[in-house]
Amino acid sequence: MPEGDIVLRVARRLDAALAGQRLVRGELRWPDLGGTDLAGVGVRGHGTHGKHLLTRLTDGRTLHTHLRMEGRWQVLRTGDLAPAGRCRADRSPQVRAVLATPAWTCLGIDLGLMDLVRTSEEDRLLGHLGPDVLAPGFDADAAAERLRGQGARPVAEALLDQRVVAGLGTIYTAETLWAHRLWPWTPAGELGGQAADLLRTARRLMLRSVAARTPTATGDLRRTSQVHGRERRPCPRCGTPVVRGTTGPPRPRQVFYCPACQRPGRPARPEP
């Protein structure tokens, strides 16, 4: 599932195509929104909260979407989709939303969630989530209290819980714990002052990915992760083969780590 860095990249791309513009076409191909026509409505801009995307409209409403596992937004030139155009992507049954200006058309493909609510009521959809790790005003110390409040719960499991902090998935959970040499099953309540440092590292890694030409958890486009997805490959720090474990509930989630650098009880020393 795309993590917060990917969703923020999507929001910025959609902003470049739609923000400040009036829609000439606005179709929502969703069971309870199928009769909605957004043509003529302006787009104020896009926001995110964790893995959730918010398209805010000038009529006081917000289109809320979530990519889930398969979703994506595609941006095409509107002229290519005209009746005489060469592209028919907007006719695909996988398209769930069509938002178009005279210049650009944005297609929401295989989206996992969609709601249309009053902008003033966004909290009804997002209020159960923890603070967004990529939000401009993110308070790492306050979020750290939430993380430590998970008590005996493994830190990897707590970081993956969007109700604790929003935006992290299996990639940035693994990469952040590796950066701090922290065993993924360390009880969250035992983190002490490390909790805020952990969250600041997650934020730094994700913002670096947002700014990169293509997503990367390392800052290096040749190797986009240190441990995630690198089972049996050497740890970049000590050479020990990376292993994969699982954490949960509510459902098993994979977590990659170095069994030498991230041993139980080993003092955490973040990478410089």
Residues recognised as catalytic: 2-3, 51, 253
Contact 212, 11 (CB under 8 A): no
Distance (Å, whole) CA 173 – CA 248:
13
Q: Which long-range contacts (CB under 8 A, 24 or more apart) does 10-13 make?
A: 10/53, 10/67, 10/72, 10/73, 11/46, 11/47, 11/48, 11/53, 12/46, 12/210, 13/73, 13/75
Distance (Å, whole) CA 83 – CA 216:
39
Token duo for residue 271: 């990478």
Identity (one letter) of the amino acid at 215?
A: P
φ, ψ for residue 102 (rounded to 5)?
Answer: -60, -25
Measured on CA atoms in the order 46, 48, 51, 57, is the torsion positive or negative?
A: negative
